[in-house]
Chains A and B, each alone.
Chain A
């Protein structure tokens, strides 16, 4: 689960009488790693690159299949089809939190059927008109029923060769295009040219070279296995943009680049400066934060008249725009994102927050009320997204922050304890603190709840739609709480500062990004890689773009597993 540095794990396990094994949504803490970053570094295998750990130091994801997000983006770049056809596939498993855990990917009969059906419809759209055919190859736009067979064959052959290479993200080996050319030729006696091309597209979109990121690699001069230039191009494009390589990457691969850390870094920097990296970052935060379903939240309209489905959508936009600004234009550090004194709103959101002077639909940067808001965690979207009723719930808010921001997953109660668990009676206390008081008073509960409730209780000044309140049901709210194992706090602003300053927060951020970029869940065996990334992250002052660049400089990214694994 992550390096547990600031929390005494032994004390935690002993105290927590409800810890009994597999948590409901994630695996229980199996990742308590070495505390000083010395594990696994093998200087013999280190080629002098700053993040080298020795080739064998970490695990690798198995063969990575395109996720729906990646499939959609790739189809758009390959065929100009922006209908997101991949949404028809069965949803990925949550696994590492980003749906791209390669070790949890299997193909069900249903998925295979869907690949087939979607390939057929995408292929039809891509060949529906002479113009569309012309996008695949200029000669194809002019083919009609009366075109000479030889000309049709020649055009088809060149179109297919080029298309297959582009779809496979690499040059084809000799003769590799032939079966596809023959497939098209075989269709032509009974069907028209467009159909013959559609048939090839249908086959290509189901081929393993398209659906999977195949990495056969090569052995470099130092005797280490690494991805080929083309394979690295795909690694970079999927990690940083969530889509297939662009022409510049392909050209670099053709020129023999992308097989050393420096050229990989250079392209990573270029790509991070490109708009396309924002799509990927947006996807990351849509999954890390509880903001992708904000427009579906339901709140009692009488108690919360300010909330609506469109307001939920705007809240998500606020958070995403804020993060995009912070990371790519602003100070760029995770600390600052957590403690920024400003946000981005349009008129509707400004009215919601009570911020004067904003007009129109465009989002603008505004200063926050320094008494009430600070950074990402006090944004209405994040605060609302954790609550699924008309009352706040400090447990859920606290657990979210502990799990996603500090990588501490507290397992759910089981057995006898679970039978005791009932949601608190809404009438049992004026404030949430009173209603949930059993968690701290009852020994059976406090063992685990001490690790969640204090965080959520410090956020009680924000109601279920993220609005500020000083009282609840007429009683004054006591916003004291703390970050377990770190520090007690007197209110939300102090909470947010404490989280931003805690080492574990930044360790966790690195871990989450590594999970996403490498397509798996990091474990104890990744201690060296994790530590190197954390060192670099710390050295850069917790700069997010730097972190993304550093992710491309680890052994895991630059090298393949040695032969035989």
Chain B
């Protein structure tokens, strides 16, 4: 990675006392060398949408599955908006989330990225692949991974972290569920604050923060050994996060040709914490926040793309709500909540399709934005792997067979422009997809998640 003086090393050398230091070039982090679309994948993005898709519209038509052969296929009505990015899109059909055991919706979101069933506390029994990838790739970035969510915490979760809305689990001994960031303004400040030329005395502030965290770090370190095992584990887990913060101060993004501060969007009509006031059945409606979803979603996608391009993080995820999805879609003229159209009001295939098509449009936006970032001969999308999924395939039956998965990008040799039917492999477990994705990042394992449901990586991604 090139020679770099650790800020902490210099500060510590003077007995931990904060010293004002000029911002020396040598203290910046050299950007990791960029692979040119070959070799291992460099970025991972996961995108979650609720309620699967329309597998059977009541007349036996599958509105999601493309028609045709692997290389010559027609996109379905629901996937049509992704036509613009077809060459980099891989439709992965025919997988089932066999490892998802537990409650209908919860088990699905918990298993989606982990390939494990719900444990005693309702959460996953293993890490999610994005966290595994972040452990391997994340060093040297201000954040090893970021999780964002739009209109999250609806229905029964009442805005709290809950198996009903948790998709990401730490790569540590206890696989703790990770709460996503909800506030678009806080995200903006958190990711791009250092790039903002308005922040005058930023340097001095940074020095002080580093000294503060250094002192806190040392106190955690001193305190932990004297405690019982369970308590020590808690402190050590917290200390890990403090250290992440310290590193993030040392590895700040710098403006470049491709990295610039996105435009800040006014999201004042949007209440990121509106989930706290939600009711179990979604009858508490927040119209102002729901109306802002398209704009906030777009803002978050812009930030996500720029966070990758600015090397804030190599791993990002976006959740469009959660498995409850008890919010309305005023811009589509749908005044009931999504779960109502899934089955609470009886399955409504037309309304569900309308929603799924809209999500496809958002996916197309995200992928096109990633494809437009030139990393030097290839696009950001080319060096990434993007994984789109849901917690089940079919809302009325909660079936998790034939999951509507999509991959996109070119990272690790991922080869787009294809429709993978996984024909004749009758119910291949999606764990095989998860481990194949890990392989794209240079992780050579052959099994991931619950081993009872993993027979090895899919071989047709590249």
Q: Which residue from chain A places its CB closest to the CB of B175 in the assembled complex?
A: A106
Could you tell me if B219 and A208 are in contact, using CB atoms closer than 8 angstroms?
A: yes
Could you tell me if A206 and B212 are in contact, using CB atoms closer than 8 angstroms?
A: yes
B426 at the interface (CB under 8 A from A): no
Interface residues of B in 47-95 (CB under 8 A from A): none
Given A112-B241, A116-B245, CB of A419 within 8 Å of CB of B235:
no
B157-165, B352-360, B376-384: which one contacts chain A?
B157-165
Could you tell me if B103 and A414 are in contact, using CB atoms closer than 8 angstroms?
A: yes
Complex: A423 Cα to B282 Cα, angstroms:
14
Complex: A99 Cα to B159 Cα, angstroms:
13
A63 at the interface (CB under 8 A from B): yes
Could you tell me if B218 and A190 are in contact, using CB atoms closer than 8 angstroms?
A: no
Could you tell me if B244 and A112 are in contact, using CB atoms closer than 8 angstroms?
A: yes
User: Contact check: which of A63, A106, A418 meets B231 at CB < 8 Å?
Assistant: A63
B135 at the interface (CB under 8 A from A): no
Q: How far is the CB of A427 from chain B (nearest CB, A)?
A: 14
Given A110-B181, A179-B218, A203-B215, CB of A63 within 8 Å of CB of B227:
yes
User: Contact check: which of A24, A116, A293 meets B277 at CB < 8 Å?
Assistant: A293
- A62 neighbours in B (Cβ, 8 Å): 230-231, 234
Could you tell me if A183 and B211 are in contact, using CB atoms closer than 8 angstroms?
A: yes
Given A111-B179, A293-B279, CB of A199 within 8 Å of CB of B211:
yes
Interface residues of B in 211-245 (CB under 8 A from A): 211-213, 215-216, 218-220, 223, 226-228, 230-231, 234-235, 237-238, 241-242, 244-245
Q: How large is the interface on B (under 10, 10 to 19, 20 to 34, 35 or more residues)?
A: 35 or more
User: Contact check: which of A91, A187, A422, A564 meets B276 at CB < 8 Å?
Assistant: A91
Complex: A396 Cα to B234 Cα, angstroms:
37
Could you tell me if A24 and B106 are in contact, using CB atoms closer than 8 angstroms?
A: yes
- A214 neighbours in B (Cβ, 8 Å): 223, 227
Could you tell me if B284 and A110 are in contact, using CB atoms closer than 8 angstroms?
A: no
Could you tell me if A208 and B244 are in contact, using CB atoms closer than 8 angstroms?
A: no
Complex: A188 Cα to B47 Cα, angstroms:
47
User: Contact check: which of A108, A185, A297, A414 meets B241 at CB < 8 Å?
Assistant: A108
- B396 neighbours in A (Cβ, 8 Å): 419
Given A62-B230, A112-B242, A183-B211, CB of A209 within 8 Å of CB of B15:
no
Q: Which residue from chain B places its CB closest to the CB of A188 in the assembled complex?
A: B18
- A207 neighbours in B (Cβ, 8 Å): 215-216, 219
- A187 neighbours in B (Cβ, 8 Å): 18, 208, 211
Q: How far is the CB of A491 from chain B (nearest CB, A)?
A: 27
Q: Which residue from chain B places its CB closest to the CB of A185 in the assembled complex?
A: B17
Could you tell me if A414 and B234 are in contact, using CB atoms closer than 8 angstroms?
A: no
B397 at the interface (CB under 8 A from A): yes
Interface residues of A in 180-215 (CB under 8 A from B): 180, 182-183, 185-187, 189-191, 195, 199, 202-203, 206-209, 212, 214
Q: How far is the CB of A203 from chain B (nearest CB, A)?
A: 4
Of the listed residues B15, B212, B218, the one surrounded by the most CB atoms of chain A closer than 10 A to its CB is: B212
Q: Mark B341-380, 1 if CB is under 8 A from A, else 0.
A: 0011110000000000000000000000000000000000
Could you tell me if A209 and B104 are in contact, using CB atoms closer than 8 angstroms?
A: no
Complex: A180 Cα to B121 Cα, angstroms:
40
- B158 neighbours in A (Cβ, 8 Å): 94, 293
User: Contact check: which of B145, B190, B281 meets A389 at CB < 8 Å?
Assistant: B281
Q: Mark A400-438, 1 if CB is under 8 A from B, else 0.
A: 000000000000101000110011000000000000000
B19 at the interface (CB under 8 A from A): yes
Q: How far is the CB of B132 from chain A (nearest CB, A)?
A: 16
B280 at the interface (CB under 8 A from A): yes
Could you tell me if B16 and A179 are in contact, using CB atoms closer than 8 angstroms?
A: yes
Given A24-B156, A106-B237, A112-B241, CB of A183 within 8 Å of CB of B103:
no
A358 at the interface (CB under 8 A from B): no
A388 at the interface (CB under 8 A from B): yes
Q: How far is the CB of A414 from chain B (nearest CB, A)?
A: 7
Q: Which residue from chain A places its CB closest to the CB of B190 in the assembled complex?
A: A113
Given A22-B122, A179-B16, CB of A109 within 8 Å of CB of B160:
no
Interface residues of A in 461-483 (CB under 8 A from B): none
Given A214-B223, A561-B228, CB of A388 within 8 Å of CB of B283:
yes
A565 at the interface (CB under 8 A from B): yes
A362 at the interface (CB under 8 A from B): no
B288 at the interface (CB under 8 A from A): no
Complex: A115 Cα to B193 Cα, angstroms:
17
Q: How far is the CB of B166 from chain A (nearest CB, A)?
A: 10
- B204 neighbours in A (Cβ, 8 Å): 190-191
Interface residues of B in 381-415 (CB under 8 A from A): 396-398
Given A112-B244, A293-B284, CB of A186 within 8 Å of CB of B19:
yes
Q: List 10 A-B contacts (CB under 8 A).
A: A24-B106, A110-B179, A113-B245, A116-B209, A208-B235, A209-B219, A214-B227, A388-B283, A389-B281, A561-B228
> What residues make up the interface of A, taking CB atoms closer than 8 Å to B?
21-22, 24-25, 27, 62-63, 65, 90-94, 99, 104-113, 116, 120, 179-180, 182-183, 185-187, 189-191, 195, 199, 202-203, 206-209, 212, 214, 216, 293, 296-298, 388-389, 396, 412, 414, 418-419, 422-423, 561, 564-565
Q: What would 4 more interface pairs be, CB under 8 Å, given A22-B103, A109-B143, A389-B281?
A: A63-B231, A116-B213, A183-B211, A208-B220
Q: Which 4 A-B pairs have the closest CB atoms?
A: A112-B241, A388-B279, A106-B176, A63-B231
